[in-house]
Amino acid sequence: MELLRWLPLLLGPLLLRGSRAVDPIRAFVVPHSHMDVGWVYTVQESMRAYAANVYTSVVAELVRGERRRFIAVEQEFFRLWWDQVASEQQKWQVRQLLAQGRLEFVLGGQVMHDEAVTQLDDQILQLTEGHGFLYETFGVRPRFSWQVDPFGASAATPTLFALAGFNAHLISRIDYDLKDAMQQAQGLQFVWRGSPSLSTQQQIFTHVMDQFSYCTPASLPFSNRSGFYWNGVAVFPEPPPDGVYPNMSEPVTPANIKLYAQVLVANVKQRAAWFRTPHVLWPWGCDKQFFNASVQFANMDPLLDHINSRAAELGVTAEYATLGDYFRALHALNVTWGTRDHHDFLPYASEQLQAWTGFYTSRSTLKVLARQVSALLYAGESMFTRYMWPAPRGTLDPAWALQQLQQLRWAVSEVQHHDAITGTESPKVNDMYVEHLAEGTLGVRKLMAAIVGDRAQHTAPGSDSGTRPEGLLASVYNPLAWTVTTIVTLTVGFPRVSVTDESGRLMPAQIQNSTKEPSAYDLLILVTIPGLSYRRYSVRPTTGTQAAATMASTIRFGRRLRRTNQGDKHLVPVANDCYTVLLDPNTNLLHSVQERQSNRTVRMAQEFLEYHANGDVRRGPISDNYLFAPNGTAEPSWEAVGLEIVAGKLVTEIRQHFYRDAKAQNYTYAVYSRLAHVSQGPGGELLCHRIEQEYRVGPLELNREAVLRTSSDLDSRQVLYSDNNGYQMQRRPYRHYKKNTLARNYYPMVQSAFLQDEKDGSRLVLLAERAHGVSSPGGGQVEVMLHRRLWNNLAWDLNYNLTLNDTSVVHPVLWLLLGSRAATTALRPRSALALQYRPVVLLSGELPADGAAARGPAPKPQAPQQQTAVTLPANLHLQILSVPGWNYSASHSEHVRALRTGQRGQAQADLRRVLLRLHHLYEAGEDPVLSQPVMVNLQTVLWGLGVMEAVEERSLTGTWDARTMRRWNWRTSPDPQAGLPTSRSRPPRGSRVTIHPKEIRTFFIHFRQQ
Ligand SMILES: [Zn+2]
């Protein structure tokens, strides 16, 4: 939101201030340690160097002094300490401290997730993981967020935290000049209505940290040591044996206590001026602090005593507080707060020349891996749930299965950290994330293969005879709760094949030369798979002509030079039922696309450009993992382009290769665009309505940032739309700044972005399978950053090994949708999910050797589907269907009683509780049909899992019974623009629930045991 729109809203509260001048200032000193779950050092290195000591020493020090407090944030570290380090006595002490409110868990996720490049489903997962553990172990439910370090703030987060039951939300990194203006106008606190559809229903009080952010002031005028950090800075790889750390602040002594107090009081007063109430949040800590809590508290205790004994004179009192203590005191003042609408705080710039928009693309390979692995986990979760219900039919050990899922849940949660998926970590930490994701993947693929194997044995006894044939078997699982029609691509070593399904029916298939392996072939199979079901296909070499997959034919066009456009050859059309793509053989570039339903033709060209980044700090701003600081405009990175059209019955593929030099042997960039020849009727609608593009980019030259620029004749007025976490769209008009305009107009695209013609509403939609930076550098243009390779000589980057010398080749995928506003509005959310959760293919090599599925000739003809499909209405997304394996009573008081009396003991995971979460995909008023509230009968929808005994609605992360969840009400001034009235969602009636636009509702389902 631009500054000017903010000011009237911010200035308003000034007038409401009462007798503020006489109130003493109350400083809430909140001890905390910001513990990055990987950044420069791995998790194990961090545990050894400081993280374990944080909990060990903090627990001891809290026990020692009754008024002392501490907030704990990242659950991954806490759980490692709890499971591997803590003694029984320490565990008992933690329970006591929690009960007394002296130790408080805030946020409660496994990590402090990034808000710009993560997907909503993954944010929910990482919160659910942490909250599940905290609730099961301690019976506690975090009530406040602590998003102090993510690089910008999404408008989906306030909604998420409201749904999780939080009473207040806290952020810090927002655009520097906006923060400055808000500070001056005392507007750092407001009630945020993050979702336009949910508005007041899921609003949340939000505190933006002031300019000092989450660290205590870093320097003391009387000391050359850093701020209030008496324990110094953590030492890697091991703590120093003598306990002496570098940069320890001078101990507080009678000689200097007055100076210390003066600095603290002056800072509190400076900050108090930026807030409307005399309550000041004074975070005490920073990165990797409190590993030696005894020194910390031993120095702060006398300092607080000193200040409080002179409170009248100093005008300040100071007390240790948890975040909850601060928010409770603030809430009790019953102030009327201003509101903020659904605009986010992205992008984030920390200074005029420091736009944090590079990380939207940094480490593109990790970004896509995180998403693909998350999608696999999603599939594994529902597949396992369907294995367990209505009754497990096989030899699979459920405890082992749960372990595989658990390991991957942890890995996917970890990579959501704000120095993980962001690509801002050191290479060794990147390797750690990749390793954890790979190990977890292996386990879950094993689990899925075992389920297929078990099912095959169960459903087709006797097929385990005969000899192993040439060819392969593929089991393809559709993890979405809708029937999906799509193309599955397999790589095969032989050109003549036939594909049959489990009933022996021949499948439509096409074979063509592979773009990835020169000696192999791509086999494209058209599949239709019902919701949460799998199909099995057999691929066999053939010799006859009858049953073979059709061979695509290739037409080649000679290379064309960039600077010349000779010739007057006619445009070459490639068409399916939905689009005609016109290629210009004079340039070998895309010329235009006609959308057939609206008969609208949009001129459209695509090319690769590169920004040349500066790597020398002496010569100006640098681009690095975080920052994008282009050194001028982007330049074309190619001189010639070659074109091939691979035409087939099922799919036509347009292959464009871009060469850096006209005569170069190897291309540097490629685009492979696919159109599927399916009818746009029911089933084929989504597949027909997309142009699938895959690019090949890299390795880049050093200090290059590569973009794909699509230029169209849409009258977009240079307004771009891009999403917050795949949950909601933001309007991004191009803004002009005194400096750094280009970089500050980059935004994250997690799942989608679009341009809209202001005259006729036509839209060009991009859907992404990984996060990218996007911008609209000119009218009708959308530019997607695809890859970055950077090195610079900034000492800080070099010391931490945080340069981005990424030499990888990346293969990003975008799906393009073109059409009227109405058509694309209806298609966009579903198509985005179709890309995110593509069917999972398990090949015969992975399937258990003793399973029938891996052996025998073609599967014996049998009933095509053993399991009842799960199908939701078109506007509902099955956000999760899983067996979380938590062991606690659904009744809070019963659970707390059990914990108190120590009954929990060695209880087994509860495998009977099924977690279900539904998400309405559309905003209110967006579509006449799809935006309607939708009623589902869960019993009918989940009939394939058995007879339902009970449906309980829960908070987002499952820890609250929704009927008992009462969040604090923060008073707001009436807002005439408060959005559309929202209808309150009602508790489920039996198994019937109604989901309103943009609602996300979470349930525990209990099925009848068979
Ligand atoms: Zn951090």
Tens digit of each residue's pLDDT (9 = 90 or more) over 260-305? 999 999 999 999 999 999 999 999 999 999 999 999 999 999 999 9
The CA-based dihedral angle spanning residues 109, 111, 114, 120, taken in that order and rounded to the nearest 10 degrees:
-40
Tell me which of 517-526, 705-714, 979-988 is least confident: 979-988
Q: How far is the CA of 206 from the centre of ligand 1 (A)?
A: 20
The pLDDT, as a whole number, for residue 859 is: 44
pLDDT digits (tens, 9 = 90+) for 105-129: 999 999 999 999 999 999 999 999 9
Residue 324 Cα to ligand 1 middle (Å):
21
DSSP 665: S
Alpha-carbon dihedral sign for residues 300, 302, 308, 313: negative
User: Which amino acid, 261?
Assistant: A
CB distance 912 to 975 below 8 Å: no
The mean of the pLDDT values for the chain is 91
CA-based torsion, 150, 152, 154, 157: positive or negative: positive
- Closest CA relative to residue 384, chosen from 846, 950, 884: 884
Q: How far is the CA of 609 from the centre of ligand 1 (A)?
A: 32
Residue 774 phi/psi, 5-degree rounding, is: -135, 155
Mean pLDDT within 59-88: 98
CA-based torsion, 381, 769, 846, 429: positive or negative: negative
CA of 173 to the centre of ligand 1 (A): 11
Helix (H) or strand (E) holding 180: helix 176-184
pLDDT band at 977 (very low <50, low <70, confident <90, very high): low
User: Average pLDDT of 236-248?
Assistant: 91
**pLDDT of 978:** 54
- Could you give the maximum distance between any two Cα atoms of the chain, in Å? 98
The pLDDT value recorded for residue 631 is: 83
Sign of CA dihedral 239, 245, 247, 250: positive
Say how many Å lie between the CA of residue 671 and the centre of ligand 1.
Answer: 36
Res 10: pLDDT: 40
pLDDT of 224: 63
Q: Which of 324-333, 673-682, 973-982 has the highest mean pLDDT?
A: 324-333
Distance CA 1000, CA 916 (A): 10
Listed residue (802, 769, 800) closest to 784, CA to CA: 769
Distances (CA, A) of 751 to 120, 272, 363, 754, 834: 10, 40, 17, 11, 11
With cut-offs at 50, 70 and 90, classify the pLDDT of residue 22: low
- pLDDT band per the 50, 70, 90 thresholds, residue 996: very high
Residue 890's pLDDT is 83
Mean pLDDT value across residues 131-147: 97
d(CA 81, CA 101): 20
Q: Look up 522 and say whether it is catalytic.
A: no
Cα(151) to centroid(ligand 1), Å: 9
3-state helix, strand, coil in the chain (%, to 5): 25, 30, 45
Instruction: Give 496 Cα–ligand 1 centroid separation in angstroms.
Output: 54
Verdict on whether the full-model pTM lies above 0.75: yes
Q: Which residue has the tokens 């506007």?
A: 875
Confidence of residue 462 (pLDDT cuts 50, 70, 90): very low
Given a cut of 50, whether residue 659 has pLDDT beyond it is yes
What band does 221 get if pLDDT is binned at 50, 70 and 90? confident
Q: Report which of residues 81 and 17 the model is more confident about.
A: 81
pLDDT surpassing 90 at residue 889: no
What average pLDDT does this structure show over 972-992? 71
| C-alpha 419 to ligand 1 mean position (Å) | 7
Q: How far is the CA of 789 from the centre of ligand 1 (A)?
A: 23
Share of the chain above pLDDT 90, in %: 83
Asked whether 534 and 452 are in contact (CB, 8 A), the reply is yes
Residue 113 CA to ligand 1 center (angstroms) comes to 9
Q: What is the DSSP string of 726-791?
A: TTEEEEEE----SS-HHHHT-EEESSEEEEE-TTT--EEEEEESS-EEEE--STTEEEEEEEEEB-
Spatial separation of the C-alpha atoms in residues 993 and 876, rounded to whole Å: 12
Tell me the angle at which helices 52-64 and 88-99 cross, rounded to the nearest 10 degrees: 60
What is the band of 347 on the pLDDT scale with cuts at 50, 70, 90?
A: very high
Calpha distance 23→406 (Å, rounded):
51
| Ligand 1 mean position, distance from CA 751 (Å) | 24
Query: Does residue 403 carry a pLDDT above 80?
Result: yes
With a CB cutoff of 8 Å and minimum separation 6, the contacts of 999 are: 198, 918, 919, 920, 985
Dist. CA 287 → ligand 1 center (Å): 7
C-alpha 549 to ligand 1 mean position (Å): 52
Cα 938 to ligand 1 centroid, rounded to whole Å: 41
Return d(Cα 188, Cα 748) in angstroms, integer: 24
Residue 721's SS3 state is: strand
- The Cα–Cα gap between 958 and 915 comes to 8
- pLDDT tens by residue, 333-346: 999 999 999 999 99
For tokens 């005194």, name the residue: 738
Q: Ligand 1 centroid to 81 CA: how many Å?
A: 19
Q: What are phi and psi of 588, to 5 degrees?
A: 65, 20
Q: Which class for 738: exposed (0-12), middle (13-18), buried (19 or more C-beta within 10 A)?
A: exposed
Between CA 434 and CA 455 the distance in angstroms is 31
349-351 and 1000-1007 beta bridge pairing = unpaired
Taking Cα atoms as reference points, which of 163, 85, 171, 88 lies closest to residue 131? 163
pLDDT of residue 203: 96
Give ion ligand 1 contacts, CB < 5 A: 36, 149
| 111 CA distance to ligand 1 middle (Å) | 10
Return the SS3 of 58.
helix
pLDDT of 437 reads 98
CA-to-CA dists, residue 888 to 132, 758, 774, 884, angstroms: 10, 54, 44, 11
Query: Which two three-digit tokens encode residue 471?
Result: 């060819």
CA distance 542 to 551: 13
In this predicted structure, what is the pLDDT of residue 218? 72
pLDDT, position 545: 63
Q: What is the DSSP letter of 47?
A: I
How much is the average pLDDT of 77-87?
98
Task: Give distance in angstroms: CA of 150 to centre of ligand 1.
Answer: 7
Nearest residue to 146 via CA among 159, 133, 161, 134: 161
How far apart, in whole angstroms, are the C-alpha atoms of residue 301 and residue 284? Answer: 13
Residue 148 is given by DSSP the state: -
Higher pLDDT, residue 833 or 217: 833
Q: How far is the CA of 149 from the centre of ligand 1 (A)?
A: 5
CA of 796 to the centre of ligand 1 (A): 16
- Report yes or no: 607 and 635 within 8 Å, Cβ to Cβ: no
Nearest one of 453, 354, 348 to 395, comparing CA atoms: 453
Q: What is the mean pLDDT of residues 445-466?
A: 69
- pLDDT over 90 (residue 885): yes
Residue 624: pLDDT band with limits 50, 70, 90: very high
Residue among 967, 988, 994, 990 nearest 191 (CA): 967
What separation in Å is there between the alpha carbon of 148 and the centre of ligand 1? 8
How many Å apart are CA 697 and CA 708, to the nearest integer? 10
From 121, 122, 149, 927, active-site residue: 149
